[in-house]
């Protein structure tokens, strides 16, 4: 059977020791979040995840959601679990205290989200989508809209969605056809169809608030003519309770490869009443507020699945007896040795461990930068932290989800045939993880975002927010005998990253297809170097703690860092070789030749 134990020791290490999260207590609004308080929050979130949500993961996958007469019912146990979830205040953990939230740091909330995603990713999508809608309204809603909706989001009685995609448009939102007709009372009549709407209809909350991209009659074509609207399932009455049913209904739910307990809906808007959010024709601002939240959240989904896949594989590798060690019996008293003695199994486990723990550190670095940006005393400080967030968001989303899928696959491989059947629960992680590489902007789109926006905006300022601390770390530690091998490998990877950026900048200016062809390779190089930087920082810290290491935690960190540098960082060289080869072999292929073998 699948297993999950919240990785609280590593979370505490990353939050308290690696990034000094206790110092956040000195920022405005965070005074209540001492180290002890944060630990208590993580421990309680871990209990909820392991004891309430995880037991529903497999049953929810097997049962799925039910759709009948426009009504969606979540799997058995989900309503009760959600009631317990909101009773514990988890929907408002990171919410603004002005609207009833607890105001916890985003970095603390990220660690909680990771545990929820490990335990039951499908369940976590319901409050997760609400968080995106909350952020958009908080940034762009009117005071009246904020007062009407944000407290309901925070207390969990209402949920939110993002209604962006339509049958004819996904990434290219300029093709949106949903219409918004102005009404005499200041509202709009929303008409159109949206697809792939997560949590578009369900039975967990008393109301569902849709944030819908639509086009007004006099709006210009393309994304410059898109506006954002609030369109609730039930129209709020003056006292704030749900009133009459709006013209927004679920027409069907998708039958999916994974996350089957999360309702993915076709939503039909038939003259539904909606209200403009922000400025007319400026809906993409609100969309990106939701999307950026979602992209970081999806990265956490990948991280959560990496962790739970690793735990299952590690337990199985220790218990499953198969063959003997290549140098002879390691446990002669047993009929065979456990899988963990075999080099390839150990390599697979260390790959999972190093990617998961490295990605956790990188994700919390970005989340803590969000905290620092939000509470910054000066605009200069806010910009510095926000630049790092902007630059690394494609890494968190794309690499976080790539390793989620890869680790889930490796977990199945370690289980062998037993991983391929449902009994052990490992195959579900593969199915659940696959969507994370696709939604909220495919990972290919993340690569294009990196080369097309993040590298070029403000004359490369976003890049400097990452490049400067890495360069400084290398210069300060390259002569440390304990760190020499690790830092030298990091420096080589960093040099490759710089060369790759220079190549893309040079070639891409004259031929955009060259930049596009190199984008995914560049994103992966940046990702491996980013995680490598985290491992170098963790190793440096671990060396200072070895004299007080009764459990071997810090020793394990150093050995895992060495594995990452020796076995995974070399992939940067191959990626650089691919990138330097240019895009000719990709773009020079005539379209008709793709099926020439079939035609012949």
Categorise residue 44: left if φ over 0, alpha if ψ from -120 to 50, beta otherwise: alpha
Q: What is each CA distance from 365 to 6, 184, 475, in whole angstroms?
A: 20, 49, 21
Candidates 122, 123, 96; CA nearest to 109 is 96
Catalytic residue chosen out of the listed positions 440, 472, 475, 590: 440
Q: How far apart are CA 31 and CA 97, in angstroms?
A: 13
Q: Are strands 179-182 and 71-73 parallel, antiparallel or unpaired?
A: unpaired
Q: What is each CA distance from 116 to 5, 124, 191, 299, 404, in whole angstroms?
A: 12, 6, 35, 13, 15
Cβ(499)–Cβ(576) below 8 Å: yes
Helix or strand (DSSP H, E) at 188? strand 188-198
Q: How far apart are CA 480 and CA 307, in angstroms?
A: 32
Residues 6+ apart with CB under 8 A from 495: none
The residue whose two tokens read 């190549």 is: 503
Residues 6+ apart with CB under 8 A from 500: 518, 521, 522, 525, 575, 576, 579, 580
Burial class (CB in 10 A: 0-12, 13-18, 19+), 459: exposed
Report CA 215 to chain centroid distance, whole Å: 29
Q: How far apart are CA 151 and CA 157, in angstroms?
A: 9
Q: How far apart are CA 353 and CA 310, in angstroms?
A: 7
Q: How many residues does the chain have?
A: 600
Q: How far apart are CA 389 and CA 49, in angstroms?
A: 27
Q: What are the two backbone dihedrals, phi and then psi, of residue 434, each rounded to the nearest 5 degrees? A: -60, -35
Q: Are strands 207-215 and 158-163 parallel, antiparallel or unpaired?
A: parallel
Q: What is each CA distance from 487 to 464, 471, 545, 557, in whole angstroms?
A: 20, 11, 19, 15
Q: Describe the crossing of helices 283-319 and 343-374 by its angle, rounded to 10 degrees.
A: 150
Cβ(588)–Cβ(511) below 8 Å: no
In the structure encoding, which two tokens stand for residue 223, read together? Answer: 């994304």
Q: Are strands 188-198 and 207-215 parallel, antiparallel or unpaired?
A: unpaired
Angle at 61 between CA 55 and CA 66, to 5 degrees: 115
Whether residue 484 lies in the annotated active site: no
CB atoms within 10 A of CB 377: 9
Q: How far apart are CA 531 and CA 529, in angstroms?
A: 5
Instruction: Please spell the DSSP secondary structure of 224-266, one letter per residue.
Output: GGEEEEEEESEEEPTTSSEEEEPSEEEEEE---SS-TTS-EEE
For the annotated catalytic residues, the residue numbers are 440
């Amino acid at each position: 059977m699948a297993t999950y134990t919240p990785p609280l020791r590593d979370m505490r290490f990353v939050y308290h020791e690696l990034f000094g999260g206790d110092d956040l207590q000195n920022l405005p609004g965070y005074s209540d979040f001492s180290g002890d308080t944060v630990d208590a929050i993580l421990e309680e979130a871990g209990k909820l995840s392991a004891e309430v949500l995880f037991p529903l993961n497999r049953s929810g996958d097997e049962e799925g959601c039910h759709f009948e007469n426009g009504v969606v019912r979540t799997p058995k146990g989900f309503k009760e679990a959600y009631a317990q979830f909101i009773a514990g205040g988890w929907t408002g953990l990171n919410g603004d205290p002005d609207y009833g939230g607890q105001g916890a740091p985003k970095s603390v909330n990220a660690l909680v989200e990771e545990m929820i995603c490990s335990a039951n990713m499908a369940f976590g999508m319901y409050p997760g989508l609400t968080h995106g809608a909350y952020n958009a309204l908080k940034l762009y809603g009117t005071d009246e809209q904020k007062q009407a909706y944000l407290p309901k989001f925070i207390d969990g009685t209402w949920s939110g969605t993002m209604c962006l995609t339509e049958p004819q448009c996904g990434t290219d939102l300029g093709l949106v056809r949903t219409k918004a007709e102005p009404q005499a009372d200041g509202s709009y009549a929303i008409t159109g169809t949206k697809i792939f709407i997560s949590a578009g209809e369900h039975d967990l909350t008393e109301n569902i608030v849709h944030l819908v991209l639509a086009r007004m009659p006099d709006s210009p074509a393309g994304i410059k003519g898109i506006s954002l609207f609030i369109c609730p399932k039930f129209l709020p009455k003056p006292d704030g309770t749900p009133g009459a049913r709006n013209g927004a209904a679920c027409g069907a739910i998708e039958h999916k490869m994974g996350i089957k307990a999360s309702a993915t809906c076709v939503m039909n808007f038939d003259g539904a009443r909606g209200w403009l959010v922000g400025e007319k024709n400026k809906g993409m601002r609100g969309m990106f507020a939701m999307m950026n939240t979602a992209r970081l959240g999806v990265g956490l989904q990948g991280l959560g699945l990496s962790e739970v896949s690793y735990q299952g594989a590690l337990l199985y590798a220790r218990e499953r007896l198969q063959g003997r060690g290549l140098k002879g019996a390691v446990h002669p008293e047993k009929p065979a040795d456990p899988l963990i003695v075999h080099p390839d199994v150990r390599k697979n486990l260390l790959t999972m461990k190093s990617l998961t723990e490295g990605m956790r550190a990188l994700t919390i670095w970005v989340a803590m930068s969000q905290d620092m940006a939000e509470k910054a005393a000066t605009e200069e400080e806010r910009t510095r932290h926000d630049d790092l967030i902007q630059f690394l968001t494609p890494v968190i989303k794309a690499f976080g989800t790539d390793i989620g899928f890869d680790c889930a696959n490796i977990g199945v491989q370690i289980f062998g045939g037993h991983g391929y059947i449902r009994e052990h629960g490992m195959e579900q992680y593969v199915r659940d993880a696959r969507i994370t590489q696709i939604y909220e902007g495919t990972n290919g789109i993340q690569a294009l975002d990196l080369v097309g926006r993040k590298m070029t905006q403000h004359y490369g300022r976003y890049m400097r927010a990452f490049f400067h601390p890495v360069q400084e770390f290398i210069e300060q530690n390259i002569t440390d005998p304990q760190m020499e091998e690790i830092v030298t490998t990091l420096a080589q990877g960093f040099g490759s990253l710089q060369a790759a950026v220079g190549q893309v900048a040079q070639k891409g200016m004259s031929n955009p297809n060259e930049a596009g062809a190199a984008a995914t390779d560049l994103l992966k190089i940046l990702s491996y170097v980013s995680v490598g930087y985290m491992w170098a920082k963790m190793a440096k810290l671990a060396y200072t703690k070895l004299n007080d290491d009764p459990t071997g935690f810090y020793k394990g960190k150093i050995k895992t860092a060495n594995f990452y540098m020796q076995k995974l960082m070399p992939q940067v060289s191959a990626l650089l070789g691919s990138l330097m080869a240019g895009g000719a072999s990709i773009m020079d292929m005539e379209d008709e030749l793709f099926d020439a073998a079939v035609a012949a």
